[in-house]
Amino acid sequence: MEDEDPSSRQRTGRLERWRTYAEISNLGPIARRYFVMNAFDGALTMLGVVIGASMAHSEDPAVIIIAGISGSFAMGISGFSGAYMAESAERTKELKDIEAAMCKPMKDESLHKEAAAFATKVTAMVDAVSPAIAAFVVILPYIFVSLGWLSMNSAFIASLAITLTILALLGVYLARVTKENMLRHGIKMLIVGIITAMLCVLVSLMLGGRVVS
């Protein structure tokens, strides 16, 4: 593949090139890890915001909406920049190792360099989008509160249910990838979510919060 004419790759369909880049860079497993880890982080982080605001007895949904959207945006920017720099460094090291084994530098338009650049951008995007989307979905019930469709207590329960659902689905997804028991993986993720919620409640109580009645 290294000796393939760059002009012939340009004539290849875009999707076909992307598929080739993904195979060369082993993009699938890497993007999958980024997706699961960061969707997990985004959902649990926003659950902490929701629990903290609820136990502070905030009756203004705008507080949670603003904090949630700002947090989602921050997680997206942080995820993209952090993943891009980390992946770029790792891919550069891999390319240098290949060049050392070949005893010659690769051309800038080489297939391996194009694949490395593609993988870096995709993983950075996955790292940015997955936590932001998960976080936004968790606070979505509070947008319904601002529209008059839900009460604050109902929104709290809905956010908790959404978070646990996201975690269970991530567990099922991992089980499908590893061809293991989906129920067991889903339950494991649910347990982590419940423990996290309990710890958030405990910390909120220590800081003077009160349980929602």
Q: Is residue 1 in some structural domain? A: no
Cβ burial, residue 64 (10 Å; 0-12/13-18/19+): buried
Q: Is residue 39 in some structural domain? A: yes
Q: Is residue 72 in some structural domain? A: no
Q: Which of 5-19, 90-104, 106-120, 196-210 has the highest mean pLDDT?
A: 196-210
The pLDDT of 114-132, averaged and rounded, is 89
Number of domains, the chain: 1
13 or 123, higher pLDDT: 123
pLDDT tens across 7-46, in order?
555 556 778 888 888 888 888 888 888 899 889 989 999 9
Supply the range of the domain harboring residue 110. 9-56+82-206
Q: Is residue 212 in some structural domain? A: no
pLDDT at 197 > cutoff 60? yes
| Cβ 30 vs Cβ 123: under 8 Å | yes
Q: Is residue 174 in some structural domain? A: yes
* Torsion sign, CA atoms 99, 102, 103, 108: negative
Q: Is residue 61 in some structural domain? A: no
Q: Is residue 152 in some structural domain? A: yes
Query: CA-CA distance, 131 to 45, in Å (whole number)?
Result: 9
pLDDT (0 to 100) of residue 213: 56
pLDDT tens across 137-163, in order?
999 999 999 999 999 989 999 999 999
- DSSP class per residue in 141-160: HHHHHHTTSS-HHHHHHHHH
Q: Is residue 179 in some structural domain? A: yes
pLDDT (0 to 100) of residue 170: 93
Place 108 in a pLDDT band, splitting at 50, 70 and 90: low
| Cβ 65 vs Cβ 146: under 8 Å | yes
Q: What is the pTM of this model?
A: 0.81
pLDDT (0 to 100) of residue 15: 82
Task: Enter the tokens of residue 82.
Answer: 């952090």
173 or 111, higher pLDDT: 173
Would residue 68 be called left, alpha or beta, if left means φ above 0 and alpha means ψ between -120 and 50 degrees? Answer: alpha
